[in-house]
Amino acid sequence: MAETVDILVDGLGSASQARVRRWLKEVGEPVLAFEPLVEIETDQATIELRARSVGTLIGATAQSGDIVSAGAVIGGIIPGRSQTAESVYREPAWRNDFPLLSQVAAWLGWKR
């Protein structure tokens, strides 16, 4: 069984708690690394927590409106390339518009 990557409440600055504003992804959806997953807010700011891995969102333990502490785990990702990730990494839109970039992509091993 694959290890999961935790979605941690971080980046709160001096705040010790935040409120979950809304999830930007649904459980079961593919995610890309650094893609925003959930918005949380403190008294001072709204913060997007981002994916730390390519994979699939497998759980959301905190729901909209819940108060969460700094460092809390509020969800998880099963790492691995999803179909969405494959399409981003393997089917760049610029491939047909820029032949030189297409040649470089082929040299790097990106397949069509």
- pLDDT tens for 5-28 read 999 998 888 889 999 999 999 998
In single-letter form, the type of residue at position 63 comes to Q
C-alpha span between 29 and 2 (Å, rounded): 17
Stated pTM of the model: 0.68
Q: What are phi and psi of 59, to 5 degrees?
A: -165, 150
- Start-end of CATH 2.40.50.100 domains in the chain: 5-80
Assigned fold of 5-80: OB fold (Dihydrolipoamide Acetyltransferase, E2P) (2.40.50)
pLDDT for residue 48: 93
Per-residue model confidence (pLDDT) at position 112? 54
Residue predicted with more confidence, 88 or 105: 105
